[in-house]
Structure 1
């Protein structure tokens, strides 16, 4: 048991996705694998960095400790130290370059925010910035922070956003995230259970890459 605790605190861990803030990329009930050595080697059970392994990259899906309340969160890293970030009516700008948005159809209703949580219109887009692309959701009928003035990301800090853009408590609300608060990178799922359907397995998500 001590060995398992050590592995989960220093090498690799797994988490249950509890909310819809990363739809359609991560669904409620997904069990994700977190590589805790992706960026840094840390002193076990602390945020003390012993050695840098590699630098977080724009577009990575990461786990981190919220600077607001210490809760473990999973979001997409959208801006690096030195980047100037701005949002205008949902559209993201990085260093003056606007992301492109291509409307797309949801893969299934299961990849949309559950109706028990939100019953309004949901629009799915493929967000592209340079060579990076991923799907995201906007909710026109939901109150959300859709615009903010240009912000320069300080050294050692990162901006995180949820892919379910209007249903995510991310850096727009909790602030930028320091590197030492990043706990790992998520690249793959272990398995997924649909809690709205009696925890039936989503077999297509078993071992799937993000």
Structure 2
């Protein structure tokens, strides 16, 4: 009886704060969320220490705290940067959506081919080293390229000296599933290793950063990345 009374008093004294926490959880589960980018798998687009804003209503309305889709709002598109739960272990990942249901995809020596159309690659010079894989992680050559294939218009990094899966397919993306790749192609655990991603596992689209902290520089803010578009 004493424990029950104490619990009731605790709730009564803190119900405003508890309601606030509940509302925050609902917002993060159903409307918008933010995530830390913990690795270099999306360089040069996203860097370690970025906090990205995830629009959870970009594609679907879901039952809060679940992957159950209540209503589809729009379809994910090639080139979107998305967050999703890994089909391998449930870990939240952020990657670029490369292929949609029905696409036939292959990669030949790092070059994408989608539905028989080859992507175009142009070398990018003068890229800030802050947008390249940190030297503490990889000391070899890094090439920054612009990948162009329809809606796919973005920078990628390839590292010739690193062991990686540079060729696969052709494979057809199954209905209701998507193929994801990291922009840091030779340093990303993506669909080449974990398989296709079902639509219900996609948790939202990333269009903008919240802020960014530089872990190699005393976690000082990267001012130029506050609110930056992806």
Task: Give the TM-score normalised by structure 2.
Answer: 0.90
Q: Which runs of 4+ in 1 moved over 6 A?
A: none
Question: Aligned match of 2:51 in 28, 31, 46?
Answer: 31
Residue 106 (structure 1) shift: 4.9
Distance in 1, matches of 2:108 and 2:174, equals: 21
Q: Do the aligned residues in 2 keep the contact of 1:106 with 1:112 (CA within 8 Å)?
A: no
Q: What residue is the counterpart of 1:205 in the other structure?
A: 225
Query: Residue deviations 1:56-115, cap 9 Å, x none?
Result: 000000000000000000000000000000000000000010100000025311101011
How many residue pairs get aligned? The number is 210
In 2: Cα distance, 1:172 partner to 1:50 partner = 30
Residue in structure 2 matched with residue 153 of structure 1 by the alignment: 173
Task: Report the more deviating stretch, 106-115 or 96-105.
Answer: 106-115
* Larger deviation, residues 196-205 vs 83-92: 196-205
Q: Secondary structure at the match of 1:197?
A: coil
Conservation of the 8 A alpha-carbon contact between 1:104 and 1:125: yes
| Structure 1 portions without partners, runs of 5+ | none
**Per the alignment, in what secondary structure is the counterpart of residue 68 of structure 1?**
coil
DSSP 3-state at the match of 2:27 = helix
Q: 1:111 aligns with which of 122, 131, 134?
A: 131
State whether structure 2 residue 159 is matched by structure 1 residue 136: no
Q: Are 1:123 and 2:143 matched, yes or no?
A: yes
Structure with bigger helix share is 2
- Answering whether residue 37 of structure 2 is matched by residue 11 of structure 1, we say no
1:180 is aligned to 200
Q: CA RMSD in A?
A: 0.7
What CA distance in whole angstroms lies between the structure 2 residues aligned with 1:56 and 1:205? 25
Q: In the aligned structure 2, how far is the partner of 1:105 from the partner of 1:171?
A: 28
Structure with the higher fraction of residues in strand conformation: 1
What is the TM-score of this pair, normalised by structure 1? 0.99
Deviations 1:18-69 (A, max 9, x none): 0000000000000100000000000001000000010000000000000000
Distance 1:42 1:28 in 2: 29
Distance 1:181 1:157, change over 3 A: same
Q: Radius of gyration: which is bigger?
A: 2
Listed as ranges, the gaps of 5+ residues in structure 2 are 1-20
Q: C-alpha distance in 2, partners of 1:58/1:163?
A: 13
Q: State the shift of 1:202 in Å.
A: 1.0
